[in-house]
Amino acid sequence: MARLRPALTEEEVKKAGVANIRQSYNLLAKDYNRILDGKLCYCHKCNEFLATDSFYSDKRYASGLFPICKKCLINDACDYDKETKSYVDNREKTKKVFQMMDLPFIDDLYKSVMQSAVEQVGEKNRQTAYSYLITCVKSLPQYRGLTWSDSIFDESLEEEDEQINENSRLLKQAKKRFGKDYSPNDLIWLENEYQDWIKRYPCENKAQEVLYKNICHTELNIEKKQKSGKDTKDDLKTLQDLMTSLQIKPSQTNSNALTEAKTFGQLIEKWEDEWDGGKPIPEPDEDFRDPDHMVTLVDTFFKGHLAKMMGLKNGFSRLYDKYMKKYTVSQPQYDEDTDSEAIFEQIFGKEDEI
Sorted by where each begins, the domain ranges of the chain are: 1-68, 82-178, 250-282, 285-354
In this prediction, residue 5 carries a pLDDT of: 64
| pTM recorded for the entire structure | 0.45
Side chain identity at residue 319, one-letter code? L
Q: Quote the CA–CA distance of 144 and 28 in Å, as a whole number.
A: 40
Q: Quote the CA–CA distance of 271 and 259 in Å, as a whole number.
A: 11
Please report the sign of the dihedral spanned by the C-alpha atoms of residue 27, residue 32, residue 34, residue 37: negative
* Ramachandran quadrant class, 102 (left: phi over 0; alpha: psi -120 to 50; beta: rest): left
The three-point CA angle 133-138-139 to 5° equals 100
Cβ–Cβ under 8 Å, residues 177 and 213: yes
In this prediction, residue 270 carries a pLDDT of: 76
65-96 pLDDT, tens digit per residue, is: 999 999 999 999 999 888 778 888 888 899 99
Give, in order, the Cα–Cα distances in Å from 182 to each of 122, 125, 179, 187.
10, 19, 7, 6
208-228 pLDDT, tens digit per residue, is: 999 999 999 999 999 888 888
Q: Quote the CA–CA distance of 174 and 186 in Å, as a whole number.
A: 9
List the pLDDT tens digit at each of the 354 positions of the chain: 445 666 667 777 777 777 777 777 777 777 777 777 778 888 999 988 888 999 999 999 988 999 999 999 999 999 988 877 888 888 889 999 999 999 999 988 888 888 777 666 555 556 888 998 999 999 898 998 899 999 988 766 555 556 666 667 777 788 888 887 888 888 888 888 998 898 888 888 889 999 999 999 999 999 888 888 889 999 999 999 998 888 887 766 555 555 556 677 777 777 777 766 667 777 777 777 777 778 888 888 899 899 989 888 888 999 999 888 888 887 766 666 556 666 677 777 776 654
Burial label, 129 (beta-carbon count in 10 A; 0-12, 13-18, 19+): buried
Cβ–Cβ under 8 Å, residues 62 and 44: no
Q: What is the DSSP string of 258-306?
A: HHHHS-HHHHHHHHHHHSTTTPPPPPPPHHHHSTT-HHHHHIIIIIIHH
